[in-house]
């Protein structure tokens, strides 16, 4: 039996593999990658590598074995039919008779277009008959802390989120939940709504940035269509800009505030704070 992680060299996948290495022997872990060279460090530590691509279904033939536990990390190629990509993995897992397939989805309350592929993938997975677990991940701290340059340049946080609050957590927090499911028991056919312990508003986020940088950083709330214009002006394709602005509109409606406590329960510890993530990003 292997624990198989797709997208293993991605931002979330690397966290999952690193945390799995703390729990199980390396030879029990299979990292699914598109570029073997990017996983050379994992192979050197004894992790098995499998080269496969969501866009090439045949590469998943015979990749899984009966009894495997699989983490399907959702693809990020919005223009390449993510549902079909995910279905390739689900069908291969079903054919092999895996014991569990976990999918990194989006929180159930999210109605923005970003969630459409996730909901459709969930339907395919549930209908497949494969024992599943839906890891409905909320927003990542890193969605904001890795993109601070324009904020610090203009001394302004610009968003279409109104006074909405975000229950974000770090990628490492979400990885810990996935690892708990992959190494634990009794998670079959469960759905977990995952988010950070502390929700924050964008005004509070701007205040934390001000504190960490010593600058006076304001929160400028703008309408959704204005944000689309700002993002396209910065070079983002309009369809993608509309998706991101749509998430802000969902935040304004409270759709990314998660109060289940599932994330800290699965991780076995409190989730990381946005203030600490900001301080680390500014310091780094």
pLDDT tens, 124-174?
999 999 999 999 999 999 999 998 999 999 999 999 999 999 999 999 999
pLDDT of 284 higher than 80: no
What's the rounded Cα separation, in Å, for the pair 11 and 16? 9
Exposed / middle / buried, residue 66 (Cβ in 10 Å: 0-12, 13-18, 19+): exposed
pLDDT tens, 194-232?
999 999 999 999 999 999 999 999 999 999 999 999 999
Q: Check: CB of residue 190 under 8 Å from CB of residue 176.
A: no
pLDDT tens, 72-125?
999 887 666 899 999 999 999 999 999 999 999 999 999 999 999 999 999 999
Burial 183-222 (b: 16+ CB within 10 A, else e): eeeebeeeebbbbbbbbbbbebbbbbbbebbeeebbbebb
Residue 108's pLDDT is 97
What's the rounded Cα separation, in Å, for the pair 284 and 278? 10
Alpha helices by DSSP H, the chain: 11-21, 40-44, 82-96, 116-128, 142-145, 149-154, 171-183, 202-213, 224-233, 238-252, 262-267, 274-283
Residue 76's pLDDT is 80
Residue 80's pLDDT is 67
Count of domains observed in the chain: 1
Give the 3-state secondary structure of residue 23.
coil
Domain, as residue range, for 109 = 3-138+170-195+259-271
* CATH number reported for the structural domain that contains residue 84 in this entry: 3.40.50.720
Neighbours of 163 (CB within 10 A): 12
**Block residue for tokens 């079959």:** 188
> Is the dihedral angle over the CA atoms 264, 265, 268, 270 positive or is it negative?
positive
CA trace torsion 86, 91, 93, 99 (10° rounding): 100
Residues in Cβ contact with 127 at an 8 Å cutoff, skipping those fewer than 6 apart: none
pLDDT of 275 higher than 90: yes
In a domain, 233, yes or no: no
pLDDT tens, 12-69?
999 999 999 999 999 999 999 999 999 999 999 999 999 999 999 999 999 999 999 9
Among 115-119, 191-195, 280-284, the range scoring the smallest mean pLDDT is 280-284
DSSP state of 229: H
In a domain, 245, yes or no: no
In a domain, 222, yes or no: no
In a domain, 113, yes or no: yes
DSSP element (H, E) containing 132 = strand 132-137
Q: Check: CB of residue 108 under 8 Å from CB of residue 193.
A: yes
The conformational region for residue 253 under phi > 0 = left, psi -120 to 50 = alpha, else beta, is alpha
In a domain, 160, yes or no: no
Give the 3-state secondary structure of residue 152.
helix
Residues in Cβ contact with 94 at an 8 Å cutoff, skipping those fewer than 6 apart: 128, 129, 130
In a domain, 210, yes or no: no
Residue 18's pLDDT is 98
In angstroms, how far apart are the furthest CA atoms of the chain?
A: 57
In a domain, 13, yes or no: yes
């Amino acid at each position: 039996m292997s624990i198989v992680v797709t997208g293993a060299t991605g931002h979330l996948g690397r966290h999952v593999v690193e945390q799995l290495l703390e729990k199980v022997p390396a030879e029990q872990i299979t990292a699914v990658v598109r570029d073997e060279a990017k996983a050379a460090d994992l192979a050197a530590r004894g992790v098995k590598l499998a080269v496969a691509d969501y866009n090439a279904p045949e590469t998943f033939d015979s990749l899984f074995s009966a009894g495997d536990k699989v983490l399907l990390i959702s693809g990020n190629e919005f223009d390449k039919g993510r549902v079909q990509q995910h279905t390739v993995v689900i069908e291969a897992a079903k054919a092999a008779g895996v014991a569990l397939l976990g999918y990194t989805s989006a929180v159930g309350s999210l109605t923005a277009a970003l969630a459409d592929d996730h909901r459709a993938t969930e339907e395919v997975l549930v209908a497949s008959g494969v024992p599943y677990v839906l890891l409905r991940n909320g927003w990542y701290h890193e969605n904001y802390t890795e993109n601070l340059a324009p904020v610090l340049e203009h001394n302004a946080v610009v968003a279409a989120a109104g006074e909405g609050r975000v229950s974000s957590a770090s990628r490492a927090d979400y990885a810990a939940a996935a690892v708990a499911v992959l190494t634990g028991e009794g998670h079959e056919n469960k759905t977990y709504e995952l988010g950070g312990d502390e929700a924050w508003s964008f005004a509070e986020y701007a205040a934390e940035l001000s504190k960490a940088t010593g600058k006076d950083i304001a929160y400028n709330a703008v309408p959704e269509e204005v944000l689309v214009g700002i993002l396209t002006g910065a070079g983002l394709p309009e369809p993608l800009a509309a998706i991101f602005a749509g998430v802000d509109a969902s935040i304004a409606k409270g759709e990314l505030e998660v109060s289940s406590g599932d994330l800290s329960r699965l991780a076995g510890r409190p989730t990381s704070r946005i203030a600490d993530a900001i301080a680390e990003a500014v310091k780094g």
